[in-house]
Amino acid sequence: MLVFDADDTLWENNVVFERVIDDFLKWLEHPSLDRSQLRAVLDDIERANAVTHGYGSKVFLRSLRECLEQLRQRPATEAERREIDELAVALVTHQIELMPGVADALDELAGRHELLLLTKGEREEQQRKLDACGLLHHFRAAHIVPEKSVDTYRWLAKEHGFDPASAWMIGNSPKSDIVPARAAGMNAVFIPNENTWVLEHDELDLADAGLLCLAAFPDLLLHF
């Protein structure tokens, strides 16, 4: 059983958010904090909002507004809210862009193995991506969950009746795809993406025999 992450594993996603953040920080122009300090404030706000409100574009916009209000120590004006919304138009209009080699590799892998898709985030937003990606026919099922925890992976194994030790979770996020899957007894394949969200970073044990690190998605064909 091969279980795939979606965002930033099958298609680009966080790079769009990073572009919006870049524009937001340029627009913000704080008199005493430099760019890295502004980003640290935003990261802290995003981290807190992820726990309370989850993930997705709406929560992201909330974080941008709260960041502005915290730094300027006042509520955002209507004009500022409109400006933030305009900065984030790309999040709504962005088209799905598959990672290189994903379509062909999945064609081959689906003929050799059972495939599942597991993505986290706001259900409606994630479903739009799944419907637009053109890949769903490869998967036995696609699940959208609010968070990927150890219990999520245990539930997935029970739901589909597979032995975790014979399954592999494939993704770009150490925090959501690799660490909890390994803790649930699954093997894991780490395919790094340079645009992975900073809040998805975590330490990996590169000596772990149940962890396979690959440079690119098509390299899966050399191992499965």
H-assigned helices in the chain: 14-28, 35-53, 57-72, 78-87, 89-93, 102-110, 123-133, 150-160, 179-183
pTM of this prediction? 0.90
Each residue's pLDDT tens digit, 27-80:
988 888 899 999 999 999 999 999 999 998 999 999 999 999 999 999 999 999
Query: What phi and psi, each to the nearest 5 degrees, are found at residue 11?
Result: -145, 160
Q: In the prediction, which pLDDT does 71 show?
A: 94
What is the per-residue DSSP string for 163-177? -GGG-EEEES-IIII
Q: pLDDT confidence of 196, banded at 50, 70, 90?
A: very high
Q: What is the mean pLDDT of residues 87-101?
A: 86
Cα 173 from Cα 190, distance rounded (Å): 8
Q: In the prediction, which pLDDT does 40 show?
A: 95
pLDDT > 70 fraction of the chain, expressed in percent and rounded: 100
Q: In the prediction, which pLDDT does 93 show?
A: 75
| Terminal CA-CA length for the chain | 10
